[in-house]
Amino acid sequence: MQFSLHTGDATRASGDLLVIPLFEGDLGPSAPEPLAAADAAFEGKLRAAAAQEGFKAKAEQSFVIHTLGRLGAERVLLLGLGARARYRPEVLRLAAGRAAKTAQRLKVTSLAIAVPTTSHADEALRATVEGLELGAYRFDKYKASAKEDKGGPKLGRVALLLPEGVQKDKALDGAVTLARNVAEAVNWARDLVNEPPNVVTPTRLAQAAQEAAKDAGLKATIGGRKEIERLKMGMFLGVTAGSVEEPKLIHVAYIPKNAKDAKRPPLALVGKAITFDSGGLSLKPADAMVDMKTDMAGSAAVLGAMKVIGALKPPFPVHAFIGACENMPSGTAYRPGDILTARSGKTVEITNTDAEGRLVLGDILTWACEHKPATIVDLATLTGACIVALGNYIVGAFGEDDEAMWSVLEAASNAGEEFWRLPISDLQKDALRSEVADMKNAGERWGGAINAALFLKEFVGDTPWVHLDIAGPSTSPKERGYFGKGATGVGLRTLVELVRQRAADTHDEVPAPKPAKAPRKAAAR
């Protein structure tokens, strides 16, 4: 989409569709300017028609009407935002996503949207742009109907109508650019997750990492089985043993050009990348295996975030570490009862080959810690237990370092993603106790998400670390706001916000330069 900023009368905006987001109560006498002007053009009948259809501007409500030449646009779409007291940018992001989906159904190619008046115009702009881009996303490349419709109308031009009293400036232009970059990266990650497992193999995921790194000006290093063996990643090798697909070790790095910044402790991002998870010899039921192409959603989010981070150029290094493989049953597959030796030297008794993600992540986390990061954040579709606890839309967050945890939770809140901190208690540690090795890879059913987090904790030492279990929110079971059914790209926006926050904090650490002394003649004035 091409976005442009505008001020002035919304009724003069040309295009196929004029979108006016509204809060509850805005249909009354104190209607916001865009609605009041549009209603006047309709001779007072627009609000009456909307009310007659039951539109009260509640969240998820919408109302569409033809303008019959009374406005510059052919149609008006009124969007409900709900109560103003409950407003946050995510409300507008979801509403903008609904607007994009409505535009697709109406086959419009251009729209104008009146950005509502809020306390922060830049945040509202970001939410609007992200919502429109994310809401317009579709994954239909394998449908014959989509190929036939390839030349059909698509939403291409969007006029962003600024609230009354807000003027265009560089800050607002920057908000639009950031929103576009983030949304495009999320959609790129969604594509990776939605692709079938015969397309996105470990090799293809590694190629995608290289392509992303090249586009963002980053360095990508890809290793194969020999490199994994050289690094003595015994758990990673165990998981990949049953598949004919070559495993891949992926490292993408952003290093600041400034030598001083390049020496700062890096932020490490780790993504789970099981490109297909059959469960191995502990085979999953058939219906539980259908969506297991999505078991690499964590890596897709991490790689997508790196695309944006390359453009942000923070004053510290950022590294992405990924171990990509399949978990398949065969005559060479690892077995329940096997004992694997991790890169850290710990031995692990295998009690369930379907608890494979934590094994690969354990070796990758050890590798990441060797780069001496300030903080590690891992994203993983790790446990069904987390879905049982939090459902399909909330990410489970684990970690003992309060400072690292709260920085991630704050970033998630600013990004509009729903996270909830869960305990990581040693009370559950007995569940992983083994009679024959240092630990088991899977314990009892109860507290399954905590058990998995406790397993990962064994491989990070004293490094501040946050584990994000995205098993539920990595895909959406239905259309909702800017979500479609399928991959969501969850976590990517939070990682970008985390980097932005840390960059701001890093800049704050540097004392402002003292103003130069004014010349004597100037001082005399």
Identify whether 358 is a catalytic site residue. yes
Tokens 């916000």, located at residue: 497
Averaged pLDDT, groups of 10, the chain, 525 residues long: 93 93 94 95 94 95 95 96 96 97 95 94 97 96 78 87 92 96 98 98 98 97 98 98 98 97 98 98 96 98 98 98 98 98 98 98 98 98 97 97 98 98 93 97 93 98 98 96 96 98 81 42 35
Q: pLDDT tens for residues 380-405? A: 999 999 999 999 999 999 999 999 99
Q: What is the pLDDT of residue 146?
A: 73
Helix, strand, or coil here: 135? helix
Identify whether 284 is a catalytic site residue. yes
Q: Which of 56, 284, 313, 346 is catalytic?
A: 284
Which amino acid belongs to residue 444? E
Question: Sheet containing 419-421: which strands, arranged edge to edge?
Answer: 219-223, 248-254, 318-327, 267-277, 375-380, 465-469, 395-398, 419-421
Q: What is the pLDDT of residue 443?
A: 86
Residues 6+ away with beta carbon under 8 Å from 144 = none
Q: 294 is written with which tokens?
A: 């999505």
CA-to-CA distance for 498 and 413, rounded, in angstroms? 10
Q: 262 is written with which tokens?
A: 């390049």
> What size, in residues, is the chain?
525
CA-to-CA distance for 99 and 481, rounded, in angstroms? 9
Query: Are the beta carbons of 136 and 104 closer than 8 angstroms?
Result: yes
Domains of the chain plus CATH, in order, are 2-141+152-162 (3.40.220.10), 184-509 (3.40.630.10)
**pTM confidence score:** 0.94
One DSSP character per residue, 47-75 reads: HHHHHHTT----TT-EEEEE-TTSSSEEE
Q: 367 is written with which tokens?
A: 């590798």
Q: Which of 101, 358, 493, 502 is catalytic?
A: 358
Q: 13 is written with which tokens?
A: 């905006």
CA-to-CA distance for 205 and 492, rounded, in angstroms? 17
Q: What is the pLDDT of residue 509?
A: 61
CA-to-CA distance for 176 and 19, rounded, in angstroms? 18
Q: What is the pLDDT of residue 145?
A: 78
Name which of 196, 213, 254, 271 is nearest 490 in CA terms. 271
Q: What is the pLDDT of residue 39?
A: 95
The alpha carbon of residue 98 and the mean position of all alpha carbons in its chain are separated, in whole angstroms, by 19
CA-to-CA distance for 359 and 15, rounded, in angstroms? 54
Q: pLDDT tens for residues 299-349? A: 999 999 999 999 999 999 999 999 999 999 999 999 999 999 999 999 999
